[in-house]
Amino acid sequence: MKLDMRVDPKSGMKPLIQLRFAARASAAAPLRAVLTLVALGIGVAAVIVLTALGEGARRFVNAEFASLGTNLVIVLPGATETTGGPPPLFGTAPRDLTLDDAAAVARHPAVRRMAPVVAGAATVSFGARERDTLVLGTTAEFQHVHHVTMGTGRFLPPGDLQRGDPVAVVGAKVRQELFGNTNPVGQWLRIGDRRFRVIGVTSPTGRSLGDNMDEMVVVPVTQAQALFGVSSLFRMLIEARGREGVPDAKAAALSIIAARHEGEADVTVITQDAVLATFDRVFTALTFTVAGIATISLLVAGILVMNVMLVAVTQRTPEVGLLKALGATARGVRSLFLWEATLLSLMGAACGLAVGYASVAGIASVWPTFPVAVPAWAAVAAVVVAVCAGLLFGVWPASRAARLDPVASLERR
């Protein structure tokens, strides 16, 4: 009989058998298992729910902006100070934006539509009812640039920029407050000391970001200028030819204004894209931050897994001694305990996923307008971090088990 001392790397416990052994070991200590599952589950669920809320906020803002139009270019009078260099000492007062400037920009081929805007607060009254509201002076183009939908009647009629009849379009809320059940179309409305005939009512938007049309009254731009006693514009809204046309439209606006303002482009051009991108970055950063914070709870759970596994090693010390006496190697013992940690982590992650997704579904049903959504990366990251934490924090207890002296372990009672 030859003493067989060869070590066949392929022999040794099969992974599936190790897994089964580990599963039964965890099942035999339900309290330990449940503790781990809860801790890891909470961590994973926290990551899922918090990132879903962050992603929801991002999508919400995105959708709000998209409804305002993503190929929008806004021109404001006055250059921003962000271009660098000290502000000029002389001639600091920016030139006004005028209707002529607006008309010149509107003629550029990169500009599909242009709506000049004059805005101010005024008292609006119908009969005995009155309220202070925002009055917007613009043109027919505004309807398309700003995606205004009409409830009844029609928007401002197209026509000469410099001429405008005394007509007004009222927002849904203004209509309700001033007219009640009376059909406002055809009625005469008083704004300040001027009279306007109502030609339409915009449909309620319920929009919370950007300008809320519900609480506005829209009149032709020249009428608003006369009303407020100004000859300048509050801003210019430009619709570029598609999203790709935005840089061209922006460059066109800057060069035309510069040409008309003695070589100085004393305006600020804001693109919706840039604003949107900023918000997008802010919310993405927020989501990542929140995910990071939630990940800390996973690491805490990992420490709990470590303690649970240390207790398991202590309780099963005689079993480790037996396994070694039967012929298990240190490495074999270590992988048994690592399997157990992995298994617990996986199950914890699965519980967390289930709870997390269920909570997100709950939020979605309670709050249907909020586009809450679990980002795929967050779900994957939560599971990966949970399992890695379990495995990482399982290494030390498992190695401790592997290093146990078989004789001392067998005699431990």
Partner 1 sequence: MTAGDSGQGAASGGRAPLIQLTGAERTYMVGHSPVHALAGIDLAVEAGEYLSIMGPSGSGKSTLLHVIGLLDRPDRGAYLLEGRDTGNLSERERAAVRLARIGFVFQSFHLVPRLTAAENVALPLELAGVAPEVSRARALVALASLGMEQRADHRPDQLSGGQRQRTAIARATIMRPSLILADEPTGNLDRGSSLEVMELLEGLNRDGIAVLVVTHDPVIGERAHRLVRVEDGKIAADSTRTPP
Give the binding site for partner 1 (CB under 8 A): 1-7, 10-14, 17, 21, 24-25, 27-28, 318-319, 321-332, 406-407, 410, 413
Radius of gyration for the chain, computed over Cα atoms and rounded to the nearest angstrom: 35
| Beta strand spans in 214-368 (E) | 216-220, 235-240, 267-271
Query: Closer to partner 1 at the Cβ: 4 or 193?
Result: 4
Question: Between residues 10 and 163, which has the closer beta carbon with respect to partner 1?
Answer: 10
Judged by beta carbon, residue 321 or residue 390, the one nearer partner 1 is 321
Minimum distance from CB of 8 to partner 1 (Å)?
8
Identity of the residue, 3 or 128, whose beta carbon is nearer to partner 1 in the bound complex? 3
Using the minimum distance from each CB to partner 1, give the nearer residue, 110 or 323.
323
Return the number of the residue (1 or 31) whose C-beta is nearest partner 1: 1
CB of 329 to partner 1, least distance (A): 4
Q: Whose Cβ is closer to partner 1: residue 26's or residue 287's?
A: 26
**How many angstroms separate the CA atoms of 358 and 198, rounded?**
50
Least distance between partner 1 and beta carbon 316 (Å): 9
CA–CA separation, 47 vs 42, rounded Å?
9
- Least separation in angstroms between residue 208's CB and partner 1 is 59
Nearer to partner 1 by Cβ, of 258 and 330: the residue is 330
Closest approach, Cβ 372 to partner 1, in A, equals 43
Closest approach, Cβ 300 to partner 1, in A, equals 29
Nearest CA to 382 among 405, 350, 360? 350
Task: State the CB neighbour count (10 A cutoff) for residue 66.
Answer: 13
Q: At a CB cut-off of 8 Å and minimum separation 6, what does 213 contact?
A: 146, 148, 171, 172, 202, 205, 207
For partner 1, the closer CB: 16 or 366: 16
Separation of CA 370 from chain center: 11
85: left (phi over 0), alpha (psi -120 to 50) or beta: left
Q: How far is the CB of 313 from partner 1 (least distance, A)?
A: 15
Beta bridge partner(s), residue 267: 77
How many other C-beta atoms lie within 10 A of the C-beta of residue 162? 11
Overall residue count recorded for the chain in this entry: 413
* Rama region for 186: left / alpha / beta (φ>0; ψ in -120 to 50; rest): left
CB of 327 to partner 1, least distance (A): 2
From the CB of 411, what's the least distance to partner 1, in Å?
8
How far is the C-alpha of 183 from the C-alpha of 198, rounded, in Å?
10
For residue 289, CA distances in Å to 53, 282, 295, 302, 371 come to 12, 10, 10, 20, 20
Cα–Cα nearest to 139, from 240, 218, 78, 197: 218
